[in-house]
């Protein structure tokens, strides 16, 4: 029996929107204000979502349960699979001491903590976002920063803030490609449009990142390095997205940024070296930082050996992200399971889509092509290179599973919540509230993308969720559909830092368990402020010359 989504079940859009917001409010209040453990807050959010979906929106209870089940499976693979295996690699490098050598080699480039943060969280993280996405960059950069002695809140929160500008082109352009494919946008046009929005924020984010860490004065002291880092990322981001396509935007921009910054630091040094590893203003509340230790000069052979597992990881992640690799591995093993009682039995309704459209509900067990599998293989090879035997690797893997058990549970519950709100139409009700803002729609439509990522944890998912609605609303208001489709993705990147999935990844990578609420409270302002700035910029593109000249129709 087909069930059609209802977006205003109470007859009052205000009341329906308030009801739709209940699961999100329950989870965020539980995390941010009641200081509940993340898996408990996620569990309560899921229970409230089930109640709202069934009793308020009329979704059959069996369908609601199956939607949550599908989300839970997605939480394990691909998201949880990435977290588990990147922490496994980090554990191996810590246990044999090579991670300390790696830290010293980074400190050898610069002892200034602000510049280390730029190099690792922004530039290195952007490479992993471009190659893999789906939580990989935050897991890697937060783990490295905590190893360098940064406080847990600094390592977690700043990794999340840094992982914004690259997100729209993450995982070799997956969010943009999906937006174009699912909602029939012109891929080249919408990629170029995003590439005319985000470079301004790619230039801004390095400045914002260091301001968040070291304050205004600390930021001003290294403005030349910030300018070099931002420009060397933003310019390639614009050129590649506009003249090549979305696939390699982040990879090329990140490499340019890393090379430019490291080269610049050979000729320029800040007048004052910043040695603090805590966030300015959070010295006593950001968790116990490791005591900064002067870096040791290691022989070149030791440095090469210490970097080898991470070089192997980089290579595997990049290769695993290539479409040709995924296609080949999926041809070997990628069984697809339709969720009976859910697949093609839910219809999205106008005005979200032009006509009733059945929603697919299939789970693809793409274990071989999943990014986490590439990470696991790289960790095993890296472990053998580091001198581990097979029994030691198996033992360490078992310890890692136990270490991240609650994080994996939380991710499962979070994805169950996000998937349920999608299939029940609860997400769409929230989106329609934004779409009803008329002349202010360019601003609020951008925030719709932010909301989508905050709820689902994925720019790709937010584009699937709201990309069609952006197109319909833009055409009704006489705006460029490409402008608002791009705004959905560009606004969405700023929601990445507050989505619960990313926060759990950050807390796990830094071993700052049960402090997800602290991380959320810290990054929330930065997320909202940056999303509003993107919204204002899109509004200028919609209405104000000469910004309107940048718009592709």
Residues 244-288: tens digit of each pLDDT: 889 889 989 999 999 999 999 999 999 999 988 888 877 776 666
Least confident of 43-47, 217-221, 549-553: 549-553
Q: Check pLDDT > 70 for residue 86.
A: yes
Task: Please compute the mean of the pLDDT values over residues 89-102 and round it to a whole number.
Answer: 86
pLDDT score of 200: 96
Cα separation, 42 vs 28, whole angstroms = 9
In which band, very low, low, confident or very high, does the pLDDT at 291 lie, cut at 50, 70 and 90?
low
Cα separation, 321 vs 111, whole angstroms = 33
pLDDT score of 418: 79
Task: Please compute the mean of the pLDDT values over residues 410-419 and round it to a whole number.
Answer: 84
Cα separation, 400 vs 299, whole angstroms = 30
Owner of token pair 């402090």: 515
Alpha-carbon distances of 467 from 107, 274, 471, 474, rounded to whole Å: 43, 43, 6, 11
Task: Please compute the mean of the pLDDT values over residues 350-365 and round it to a whole number.
Answer: 89
What rounded mean pLDDT belongs to the chain? 89
pLDDT score of 103: 74
Cα separation, 114 vs 218, whole angstroms = 8
Q: Check pLDDT > 60 for residue 240.
A: yes
Q: Check pLDDT > 70 for residue 177.
A: yes
Task: Please compute the mean of the pLDDT values over residues 522-539 and round it to a whole number.
Answer: 96
Task: Please compute the mean of the pLDDT values over residues 461-489 and round it to a whole number.
Answer: 86
In which band, very low, low, confident or very high, does the pLDDT at 53 lie, cut at 50, 70 and 90?
very high
Q: Check pLDDT > 70 for residue 311.
A: yes
In which band, very low, low, confident or very high, does the pLDDT at 325 lie, cut at 50, 70 and 90?
very high
Task: Please compute the mean of the pLDDT values over residues 57-65 and round it to a whole number.
Answer: 96
pLDDT score of 202: 96
Least confident of 385-399, 419-433, 509-523: 419-433
Task: Please compute the mean of the pLDDT values over residues 524-537 and round it to a whole number.
Answer: 97
Share of the chain above pLDDT 70, in %: 97
Q: Are 130 and 166 in contact (CB under 8 A)?
A: yes
Least confident of 111-115, 216-220, 453-457: 453-457
Q: Check pLDDT > 90 for residue 552.
A: no
Copy the structure tokens of residue 476: 């009704």
Q: At what angle do helices 323-332 and 300-321 cross, to 10 degrees?
A: 70
pLDDT score of 538: 97
Task: Please compute the mean of the pLDDT values over residues 287-294 and round it to a whole number.
Answer: 60
- Angle formed at CA 537 by CA 532 and CA 539, multiple of 5 degrees: 95
pLDDT score of 292: 54
pLDDT score of 287: 66
Q: Check pLDDT > 70 for residue 294.
A: no
Task: Please compute the mean of the pLDDT values over residues 419-434 and round it to a whole number.
Answer: 85
Task: Please compute the mean of the pLDDT values over residues 509-518 and round it to a whole number.
Answer: 88
Cα separation, 501 vs 412, whole angstroms = 9
Q: For 104-157, how does the pLDDT look when each residue is reduced to its tens digit (9 = 90+)?
A: 887 788 989 999 999 999 998 998 898 777 678 898 899 889 888 899 999 999
Least confident of 72-86, 183-197, 355-369: 72-86
Q: Check pLDDT > 90 for residue 341.
A: yes
What 3-state class would DSSP assign to 426? Answer: helix
Owner of token pair 């046009």: 189
Tell me what percent of the chain is helix, strand and coil, each rounded to the nearest 5. 75, 5, 25
- The answer to pTM > 0.85 is no
Copy the structure tokens of residue 122: 């922004």
Q: Check pLDDT > 60 for residue 441.
A: yes
């Amino acid at each position: 029996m087909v069930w059609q989504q209802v977006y205003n079940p109470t007859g009052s859009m205000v009341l329906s929107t308030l009801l739709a917001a209940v699961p999100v409010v329950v989870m965020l209040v539980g995390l941010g204000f009641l200081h509940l453990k993340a898996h408990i807050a996620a569990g309560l959010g899921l229970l409230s979502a089930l109640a709202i979906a069934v009793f308020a929106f009329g979704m059959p209870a069996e369908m609601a349960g199956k939607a949550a089940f599908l989300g839970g499976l997605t939480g394990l693979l691909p998201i949880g699979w990435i977290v588990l295996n990147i922490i496994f690699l980090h554990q191996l490098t810590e246990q044999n001491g090579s991670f300390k050598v790696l830290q010293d080699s980074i400190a050898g480039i610069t002892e200034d903590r602000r510049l280390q943060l730029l190099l690792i969280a922004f530039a290195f993280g952007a490479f992993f976002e471009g190659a893999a996405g789906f939580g990989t960059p935050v897991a890697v950069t937060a783990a490295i920063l905590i190893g360098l002695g940064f406080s847990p809140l600094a390592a977690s929160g700043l990794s999340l803030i840094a992982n914004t500008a690259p997100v729209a082109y993450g995982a070799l352009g997956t969010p943009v490609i999906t937006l174009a494919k699912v909602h029939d946008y012109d891929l080249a046009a919408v990629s170029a449009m995003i590439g005319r929005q985000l470079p301004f924020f790619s230039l801004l984010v390095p400045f914002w990142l260091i301001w968040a860490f070291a304050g205004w004065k600390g930021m001003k002291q290294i403005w030349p390095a910030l300018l070099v880092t931002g420009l060397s990322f933003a310019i390639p981001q614009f050129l590649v997205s506009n003249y090549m396509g979305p696939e390699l935007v982040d990879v090329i921009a990140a490499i340019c940024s890393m090379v430019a910054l490291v080269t610049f630091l050979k000729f320029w040094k800040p007048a004052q070296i910043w040695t603090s590893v805590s966030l300015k203003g959070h010295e006593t509340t950001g968790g116990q930082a490791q005591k900064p230790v002067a870096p040791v000069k290691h022989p070149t052979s030791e440095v090469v050996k210490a970097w080898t597992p991470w070089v192997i990881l980089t290579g595997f992640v990049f290769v695993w992200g290539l479409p040709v690799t995924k296609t080949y591995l999926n041809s070997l093993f990628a069984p697809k399971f339709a969720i009976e009682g859910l697949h093609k039995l839910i219809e999205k309704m106008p005005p979200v889509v032009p006509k009733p459209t059945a929603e697919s509900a299939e789970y693809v067990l793409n274990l071989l092509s999943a990014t986490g599998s590439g990470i696991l293989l790289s960790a095993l090879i890296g472990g053998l290179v580091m001198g581990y035997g097979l029994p030691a690797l198996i033992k360490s893997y078992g310890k890692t599973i136990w270490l991240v058990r609650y994080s994996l549970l939380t991710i499962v519950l979070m994805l169950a919540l996000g998937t349920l709100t999608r299939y029940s139409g609860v997400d769409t009700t929230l989106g329609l509230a934004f779409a009803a803002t008329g002349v202010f729609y360019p601003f609020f439509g951008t925030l719709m993308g932010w909301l989508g990522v905050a709820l689902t944890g994925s720019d790709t998912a937010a584009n699937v969720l709201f990309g069609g609605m952006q197109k319909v609303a833009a055409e009704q208001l006489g705006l460029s559909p490409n402008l608002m489709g791009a705004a959905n993705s560009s606004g969405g990147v700023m929601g990445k830092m507050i989505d619960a999935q990313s926060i759990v990844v950050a807390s796990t990578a830094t071993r700052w368990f049960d402090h997800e609420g602290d991380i959320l409270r810290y990054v929330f302002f930065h997320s909202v402020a940056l999303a509003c700035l993107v919204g204002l910029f899109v509004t200028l593109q919609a209405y104000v010359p000469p910004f309107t000249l940048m718009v592709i129709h």
